[in-house]
A = this chain, B = another copy of it.
């Protein structure tokens, strides 16, 4: 192996372990420091989503590192949303009119373990657990760590440091507190939080409800979702306001109130959740926030990646996929900048990538608002119906915003957002002006939607939007 630089990665979560693997494949010497114990030896899932939506952008990264098939064996396909009404009726709404397009439920822990194991197969990778990064000296490219085992502190240096240490990133905090340069930064919390619950398997290990869907109990201001696990269970998440509405996290204080809330709102879920009260009071309530910042890098010394650079709310199922796509994009920048210094590489990476991570952050918020405000409106239901018909009859000619974001890994999030939002607006305009209806011929609708979309995109271009 030829002489290559030393890279220090802070954080061995999904993004950090994938990045370590890919940089190892490229021949770099990689040291990874993780604050948590090795999740392959300890159960440390508490308080974090234990399964996640995995889709085409994430899969592109798995292809890049040669793990597509291994990851597939961890995946449970979810072809659509199984919507549960208040009365307990269910109906399946596919994610796409194209049958081969679906998302997957995957265990965060299993996937992370696979990536760690694959990274460690490279002798140029070392992963150290129980080492928490406390701060980064980005002028001198060193990081200060606390060793949780022997309680000592130590400093590591490297040719460059990449922080994939999540929403609470130590490097990002050092950028902010350092005041050495103009650091644009935002943390925006929703008024809603979330809590994880569970639907356990039957005694014989079977799924208590339909396996191949993302179950959703939309109730306007709050909702419950459930994603399947390989062991027959579902991980259930309750999204609810902290303080507003008849029921909220602040007033769900007793087993009686929690049970009453579920009996009123999620009756069919409650029937298969005998463990509800125990879960509810055992598991923490966590916040939902969006983090954006810039610059991501300081000279050629340090770089933020993954949630450390751009944490998003979970309503598009793209958090992990976006972080995996970071690694794909970074790899592509490395290919295009052979022999360049790290400053050039980091600059080029942020320039190409940031517009897309900003876009997925905004799209995820769009979806939160859409689910709260629009789910019950007739015009939005008509729009969804039209889009499914268009995708089904003209799979080559029409792609909904959801499909552009989720299944089109070769279109950036920003482009998907601009086109997707214009299409949505086009359909809504045409519906509200009665220029189309769900009874029209799909080919007629397609033509009108395409034309109106072009008009909207052009007007936005002129207005400089």
A residues within 8 Å of B by Cβ? 182-189, 242, 287, 289, 292, 369-370, 373-374, 379, 424-425, 428-429, 432, 458-459, 462-464
Q: How many copies does the complex hold?
A: 2
The closest CB in chain B to the CB of A182 belongs to: B189
A185 touches B187 (CB 8 A): yes
Which residues of B are found within 8 Å of A373, using beta-carbon distances?
464
Which residues of B are found within 8 Å of A189, using beta-carbon distances?
182-184
Known: A287-B182, A425-B459, A428-B459. A464 touches B369 (CB 8 A): yes
Query: What would be 16 A-B contacts, judged by CB atoms less than 8 Å apart?
Result: A182-B189, A182-B242, A182-B289, A183-B187, A183-B189, A184-B186, A184-B187, A185-B187, A369-B464, A373-B464, A374-B464, A424-B463, A425-B459, A429-B459, A429-B462, A432-B459
Which residues of B are found within 8 Å of A424, using beta-carbon distances?
463
Which residues of B are found within 8 Å of A464, using beta-carbon distances?
369-370, 373-374
A429 to B184, CA, bound (A): 34
A463 touches B425 (CB 8 A): yes
From B182, B429, B462, A379 is in contact (CB under 8 Å) with: B462
What 7 pairs between A and B have smallest CB-CB spacing?
A: A186-B186, A182-B189, A184-B188, A184-B189, A425-B463, A432-B462, A428-B462
The closest CB in chain B to the CB of A374 belongs to: B464
Which residues of B are found within 8 Å of A186, using beta-carbon distances?
184-188, 292
Which residues of B are found within 8 Å of A370, using beta-carbon distances?
464
Which residues of B are found within 8 Å of A462, using beta-carbon distances?
379, 428-429, 432
A53 to B355, CA, bound (A): 34
Which residues of B are found within 8 Å of A185, using beta-carbon distances?
185-188
Which residues of B are found within 8 Å of A188, using beta-carbon distances?
184-186
How distant is A349 from chain B, measured CB to nearest CB, in Å? 18
How distant is A346 from chain B, measured CB to nearest CB, in Å? 15
